[in-house]
Chain A
Amino acid sequence: MGKPRVAFFDFACCEGCQLQVANMGEDLLAVLGAIDVVEFREVMSEKGEYDIAIIEGSITTSRDVERIKKIRQKAKVLMAYGSCATIGGVNGMKNNFELDHIRRYVYKDAAKYFETIPTRAVHQVVPVDYFVNGCPIYIPEFVKALKCALIGIPYKVPDHAVCVECKLNENECLYDKGLTCLGPVTKAGCNSWCVNHNNICYGCRGMVTNPAENGARDILEKYKIPMPWVENKMNMYNKVREHDEKEEAHGKKC
């Protein structure tokens, strides 16, 4: 059996996740031993057939919608990776505004040349088999999910808080330092990467599926943090979530 052919595609994003892959160091050689990369813009350019499509970026134009549908048709397995692809990410901030208004704000007189639709995560447009959340992706998690795809088993993004991993790493809680961190409501899987390096959690992996709204409000009160301020912080990555909530009846989840 030949090695599975893997193609990387990017949509609206900064290509930072591809950069993470290109920079993974020694593991990259091991990964390349297990797969054939047939499409990868950061390091090469080649058209071809593929088994696994790895998607970075959000869907933000109707052209994107057509393109992702074609990729989905061709791919046996589709992986969305990075916040933009899995939860909409920072591109979702666009959804805070009226579309025409934001288009004119960005492109001024040339606005009419730039068609746009509300930002969508990939699974909100086509079915996704594997999710690797995060901005950027956490390489050990990406490798883990890739291995799952290669042996044909599901990979499930943990549905408990970043705090769980953070405690296992025995970090001092950032709230003890007077900082506000989104760890308590954000999905784990990143090994509390940011907090390990003294940065707060920005919620880039998306909210846990059963967040405690009351409890979160209590925490804010306790630490005297204004609600709009946190909403703002939360919406930085998670605005597109509102679309998921509307579609929950369809059983779609990221």
Chain B
Amino acid sequence: MNHYMVLKKKDFNAFIEKLSKKMKVAAPVRKGVKNFAFEEVTRGDAISRVSLPTILPPKKYFMPQRETIQTFDRAVPRWNSVVSENDAIVIFGVHTCDLSGIQFLNAVMGTPPKDANYLARKANITVIGLECNDYCDAYASCKAMKTHLPSGGYDLFFTDIGDAFMVQTGSAAGETLAQETGFFTTADTGEQKKLGNIRKKKEKIFKDEISVKYANLRTVFEKTVQSEVWEDIGSRCVACGNCTNVCPTCYCFDIQDEIDLNLRTGRRVRVWDGCQNEEFAKVAGGENFRRKRGQRQRHRYMRKFAYPMEKYGTYACTGCGRCTRTCMAKISLKETIHALGEEAKS
């Protein structure tokens, strides 16, 4: 399915408005001074079409920060599984880095035993991607992680070609959704050419941002598990947990029970959790298997660059740059990889 359509920019507002009457539409909007966040919108002009990644990635729609997975009644006692039937939602403005994040989560949650809650939500989500014609900022490493160009994970994919969006269809559902709004026309050769030019220009703009080659990343990380780089990072990290919460491919969670004030009924919820948090690897007896912050950071990196290769055949880093951008201590992904790469050489 490689069908190209065009949406005129003048129709963009009407397109979003029409869509939002049919279902929920979420898109990046300005949040505060320097940031953006995916939020529900009803108008196209509320959307920020900037390339800077949002504070949280769109994973929050697939796996919300808090989600009920069960209800219980202590009096019986009985547990009922809850697999929410969420409303249909379109997520507009998902950049290629985040598309690759969603693809990774799909692989993890679709691996048996499958995560019913995640998959039920996914079934009701339509993803509309949006190309970055230029870098968001210097923290991104999407070229190095090969995520700067679209390669699936979307129902529709938008590229800004000036006075219009070139729209690539990625699924039958995406195509139907576009056709139903009535704003899309088939792309002509002139528009095709404009897209080609943008991609050519991107080749010049986007350069490998990290000093280790894609194919060598795993080996570098496997060779440097005992590196002093981890000690150094450990001494700088404050374990605020920002890096894992904002990561598009972090999916660790905690399971907690909440009881109502009648002390009888309640629910079991899952809440995002992260390996940087103090209590994450503690067992009931009190032993903490990753007591040092350096060990926790190493674990986070290994989960991006070493372990998933074996399990899912891909890296779990999308190059979005969020972890570096949000780090209180300015621990930089690019610098870390560079330092490890240098060490692996010797």
Contact = CB atoms under 8 A, between A and B. Distances in A.
A211 B237 CA distance: 10
A164 B242 CA distance: 6
B181 interface: no
B328 interface: yes
Contacts of A216: 238
Interface string A203-218: 0000011111011101
A167 B247 CA distance: 11
Interface stretch (B31-39, B132-140, B160-168, B221-229): B31-39
B328 A219 contact: yes
A168 B238 contact: no
Given A160-B277, A172-B32, A176-B35, A214 B56 contact: no
B241 A167 contact: yes
A168 B330 CA distance: 20
Contacts of A167: 55-56, 241-242, 245-246, 326
Contacts of A145: none
Nearest to A215: B238
Contacts of A218: 236, 329-330
A173 B240 CA distance: 12
A228 interface: no
B293 interface: yes
B6 to A, nearest CB: 33
Nearest to B237: A215
A47 interface: no
Contact of A209 (B258, B263, B278): B278
A88 interface: no
Interface residues of B, number: 37
Interface string A157-178: 0111101100110111101110
A31 B236 contact: no
Given A147-B261, A164-B274, A170 B55 contact: yes
B337 interface: no
Given A167-B246, A175-B328, A159 B240 contact: no
Contacts of B329: 215, 218-219, 222
A57 B275 CA distance: 35
Contacts, number: 110
A150 B238 contact: no
A106 interface: no
Contact of A170 (B37, B271, B293): B37
Contacts of B235: 212, 214-215
A33 interface: yes
Interface in A168-191: 168, 170-173, 175-177, 183-185
Nearest to B34: A176
Contacts of B258: 144
A233 B259 CA distance: 36
Nearest to B240: A163
Interface of B: 31-35, 37, 55-56, 60, 65-66, 235-242, 245-246, 258-259, 261-263, 271-272, 274, 277-279, 293, 326, 328-330
18 contacts: A30-B261, A31-B261, A34-B261, A159-B279, A160-B278, A163-B241, A168-B66, A170-B37, A172-B55, A175-B328, A183-B240, A185-B238, A210-B239, A212-B239, A214-B236, A215-B236, A215-B239, A219-B328
A-B residue pairs, 8 tightest by C-beta? A172-B32, A163-B240, A215-B238, A167-B245, A160-B277, A30-B261, A164-B241, A212-B238
Given A31-B261, A172-B33, 7 more contacts: A150-B263, A167-B56, A168-B66, A173-B242, A176-B34, A212-B238, A214-B235
